[in-house]
Structure 1
Amino acid sequence: MQVISSNNNSRKLKMDKVVDVLIVTYNSSRTLKKCLQCIKNAVPYNRIIVGDGGSNDRTIEIAKHEGAEVYSFPRKDNLIGRIRYKLAEKAEKDWMLYVDSDVYLYQNFWTIMRCLIRPNVGMAFAVQDSPARTLNTYLTSRKLGFITFGNTIVPRHLMLVCKEMLNLNGGEDVFFAKFVKKRGYEVICLNEHLSFHDKSEEDLDRKFSRWARELGEEKLLMKFILLELSNIRNMACMTIKDGTISDTSILLRRSWKMLSSFIEGLKAP
């Protein structure tokens, strides 16, 4: 993965390249309105397309009110990789911008990111700010190999040939990065803070616990072990980076909650 910094030349490009913006949602009512408003203020988009995984709050209402197209992916179709792929099928432009529903793009996002729309680029994104200490450490550390779909431009044709995305529910960002690199394209992490990821430690706890419970319900032990190992890896890397164990208690607690949720899933009828 290439890590680069923007320069003045990249900022002189004309604002003539538009993208389709793709957003995956699930009970995103707290953050979605601001997410969409930031996109509309920062990006010369063609369409904003939302794929919802079965929200039971005001997510769909907010998306429609802000002018987004909304498609529902309930039950067996509620896999984040599958939703990302299906949204790419509905897009029109050669390039797509994936934005997470709890990510707010800064005003200068597109002014800088547009320089990365090049024939040899298969995936490009920028580092993010975050209120969650563990996530902020992860997002800003080059040693951790940061990969995300949170603020990411992707050529549409590459996504459409990556059929494996249809069966992925988590880890699809890392999988896609490996996929495009094997085909000779660059994966670029722009070393500038161009968005804010509005996710607290409590949000992260709930997210990982939900993933763990779903894996338990489906009796997917090996996938759960990989999820736990990923959390433990982050714990070790953060400790090495900071020279302290300041974040390990948070990650240890998260690891225990994931195990408890997985067991609950196993017991579910």
Structure 2
Amino acid sequence: MQTNLTVIVLTHNEELNIEECLRSLVPLKCRIVVVDSGSTDKTLEIVQNHKVEIYNHEFNNYGDQRNWAQQNTGIETDWVLHIDADERLNKVLCENIINVLMDNSNSEIDGYLISRRTIFMGKFIRYGGHYPVYHNRMFRIAKGMCETRLYDQHFIVDGIVEKLSGDIIDVTDDLDDWFNRHMKWAEMEAEQILGKNKKNKLVESKLGGTSIERRRWMKNNLYYKMPLFLRCLIYFGYRYFVRLGVLDGYKGLIFHFLHGFWYRFKVDTCILKKKLNWV
């Protein structure tokens, strides 16, 4: 019996990740929709070996692509779950998703916050404020949508949201792939910061709100108010020493340096380049 859930997976040249992603979804016994944006590697060849439905749509930004997938792939289930191709669900999360779908007593709940667990070069990144970090990923399709920001977009759920036990596992084993993604995202975030992608329906920025709203408030009202380049150094120090990222070992040092300093430095470089009209 198929569960009352549709899973949406976005792909573009994900041959290294998509197999494990799709395998992790098998226990859910649900409809799986893959929306591809012109993959030129073996992604689609791998996907075709699984019981999924494949759609093709030109990529503009993540928010638009996710919303297009919700609105144009014939979803008839009440619930939708969004995951990325480099992510997979752990066993506990699958079991709890099935339980809430079968439990008729949760009719007032419209969405679930799910924690993301980062595995970097085989190492679980536990510290540095990186776990647990919760995201709206599963919700009633009539109640949720994605922000149309260029970067750091979140799903917005109009209703009651609760936390769900279990993790979405984000795996990074290929550093070249990691760098390629973050180079692209740095450009997107720089454009977002400079106000070139201001659209409505954004997650509120509230210090006293949800964990997502607090993070947005801290980013907008603290981090972005600090000087370029200095802020990424301060952030890395805060994350690595104050939030105990040092306890993640040498692989954790690589991760926190790249994610907490190098990436933020790259964003600031892109901002300066755009402000000064550098080629």
Instruction: For residue 131 of structure 1, give the secondary structure of its aligned residue in structure 2.
Output: strand
Within 2, Cα distance between the matches of 1:102 and 1:219? 24
Within 1, Cα distance between the matches of 2:34 and 2:127? 29
Instruction: For residue 196 of structure 1, give the secondary structure of its aligned residue in structure 2.
Output: strand
CA drift at 1:32: 0.2
Instruction: For residue 57 of structure 1, give the secondary structure of its aligned residue in structure 2.
Output: coil
The aligned counterpart of 1:109 is 93
CA drift at 1:60: 2.2
Within 1, Cα distance between the matches of 2:270 and 2:246? 28
1:71 aligns with 2:45: no
The aligned counterpart of 1:210 is 184
Q: Deviations over 1:81-103 (max 9, x none)?
A: 11111211222200112222111
Letter in 1 for 2:131: S
CA drift at 1:140: 5.5
The aligned counterpart of 1:50 is 34
Within 1, Cα distance between the matches of 2:2 and 2:242? 44
The aligned counterpart of 1:169 is 150
CA drift at 1:20: 1.0
Letter in 1 for 2:66: R
Alpha-carbon distance change, 119 to 70 in structure 1, aligned in 2, over 3 angstroms: same
CA drift at 1:70: 1.8
The aligned counterpart of 2:210 is none
Within 2, Cα distance between the matches of 1:139 and 1:128? 12
Alpha-carbon distance change, 17 to 238 in structure 1, aligned in 2, over 3 angstroms: farther
Q: Residue 112 of structure 2 is aligned with which of 111, 119, 124?
A: 124
Instruction: For residue 124 of structure 1, give the secondary structure of its aligned residue in structure 2.
Output: strand
Judge which range, 127-136 or 24-33, deviates more: 127-136
Q: Which runs of 5+ in 1 are unaligned?
A: 1-14
The answer as to whether partners of 2:80 and 2:141 remain within 8 angstroms in 1 is yes
Alpha-carbon distance change, 199 to 239 in structure 1, aligned in 2, over 3 angstroms: same
Instruction: For residue 147 of structure 1, give the secondary structure of its aligned residue in structure 2.
Output: strand
Size of the aligned set, in residue pairs, is 231
Q: Residue 170 of structure 2 is aligned with which of 197, 216, 229?
A: 197
Judge which range, 126-135 or 28-37, deviates more: 126-135
Alpha-carbon distance change, 213 to 169 in structure 1, aligned in 2, over 3 angstroms: closer
The aligned counterpart of 2:63 is 81
Q: Residue 135 of structure 2 is aligned with which of 148, 153, 162?
A: 148
Normalising to structure 1: TM-score of the pair? 0.68
Q: Deviations over 1:55-90 (max 9, x none)?
A: 22222222223232222222xx42111111121122
CA drift at 1:39: 1.0
Normalising to structure 2: TM-score of the pair? 0.66
Q: Deviations over 1:162-203 (max 9, x none)?
A: 4x63x3333222xx2xx42xx44124253x4x4432125834
Within 2, Cα distance between the matches of 1:61 and 1:213? 30
Amino-acid identity (%): 17
The answer as to whether partners of 2:112 and 2:164 remain within 8 angstroms in 1 is yes
Q: Deviations over 1:20-41 (max 9, x none)?
A: 111011221101012112212x
Q: Residue 244 of structure 2 is aligned with which of 231, 242, 245?
A: 242
Instruction: For residue 130 of structure 1, give the secondary structure of its aligned residue in structure 2.
Output: strand
Within 1, Cα distance between the matches of 2:48 and 2:278? 38
Alpha-carbon distance change, 97 to 29 in structure 1, aligned in 2, over 3 angstroms: same
Alpha-carbon distance change, 200 to 53 in structure 1, aligned in 2, over 3 angstroms: same
Within 2, Cα distance between the matches of 1:131 and 1:104? 11
Larger proportion of strand: 2
The aligned counterpart of 1:7 is none
Larger proportion of helix: 1
CA drift at 1:244: 4.8
CA drift at 1:238: 5.1
Within 2, Cα distance between the matches of 1:57 and 1:138? 35
Q: Which runs of 5+ in 2 are unaligned?
A: 198-218, 225-230
Within 2, Cα distance between the matches of 1:35 and 1:62? 11
